[in-house]
Structure 1
């Protein structure tokens, strides 16, 4: 097995717990770091629920450790950051992780932030890259491998092997705003929102146009609800700053987020859940 024996995941939310589940199911030991003991316990329960629903080997959960102490990451060969899309927060996390596990490969699950910028504060940027997993991680077939300007090419090859061991298909993209997946996905979602805002069609009909007409597994508005409207807004704002006004978030998105309607996680977004 080419997968690391010991993997760290910093952040045990929906994405972090899904990443942990994927590695556990494939045979790795996983340490999940959360901000406090209660959050660590919730992360353990979240991963446990996912493993049970996926009918995983009963031994998989025994290979999981959750903690609030970053120092426990020391034996990890790979540490993946899975905290919210905030560059300053991610930089703080990587400073902690590089100190705690100086020999580990470091990866970010960011969906849009610059890998080169995130690596700027690292002592060993050649051991850093993006590993962008997709929600829900256990059943998603894709991993987007993002190479920074100083990422070791041998590490990219290794990451491609890890993706295959996880049963996923990797694509490799250069560091650029939104990479390939977020840039295309957000572009489609923002236009769908504008169409809804302009009364072109209902949310259901817009989504059906893509699921039946283009064989997308889920329409762009429902996908936004699953990802989180707040997450999509943050990515769109970042892309608008980097790539121009074609990524400017529509008013309907800003209004829904301001009202606390963030999609599936709050029970209301473009759909009622």
Structure 2
């Protein structure tokens, strides 16, 4: 990861242009979702193979469901390992959440109860996943829309899992911001709980205002606002510069516009690191 800087989440609407352009200026790597590509053949497999020849890749999963009460889905994890091996991907991440119950997959990222018992359960599953994959897992902090006042603080909970499992944190800057606004929390208190050497890379994305009881919704459907970029500067001040992935899943703009946004954000965060404020 030390050789990677600016990354985009791979979208199918951009895949053809990325293949034709080769190395897109301002894009150093791509983040691919295995769930969207595993087991596909034909043109999809050819497209991904071409992209893998142009760009280093990291993998960001959706269905590990590390926080659920079930055993690991070994069939799913076997397919993930085959995918990672086939494309020589070393960095694999998924969400610190649950995405299934005893009835099957829900295709949602459900926050998990934040308790010491839950942390131990998750850490045990993480250790087994890492041993099976032969790779260090990165877990992403997620946005949530409910807080139980009796639960551990989010940062404290995540730090416990990191310490017990040896995994890394994929730090989603927008999710930290959304949770801080929705629950009137200090985002820096969250950041201070996380060990400095635990962060593997960053996500940044846009969100939307809500007319409901929660002011903000994590949508990945708009440009990144200045408040999130400013929080990103605080993140860099604490952890230093890490590879940065810009996510955009809805209202996806043309590829050049997305690349320009990525470059602007990265340059702003890099300037923060250069200020020597750590």
TM-score, structure 1 as length reference: 0.31
Larger RCO of the pair (alpha carbons < 8 Å, separation 6+): 2
TM-score, structure 2 as length reference: 0.31
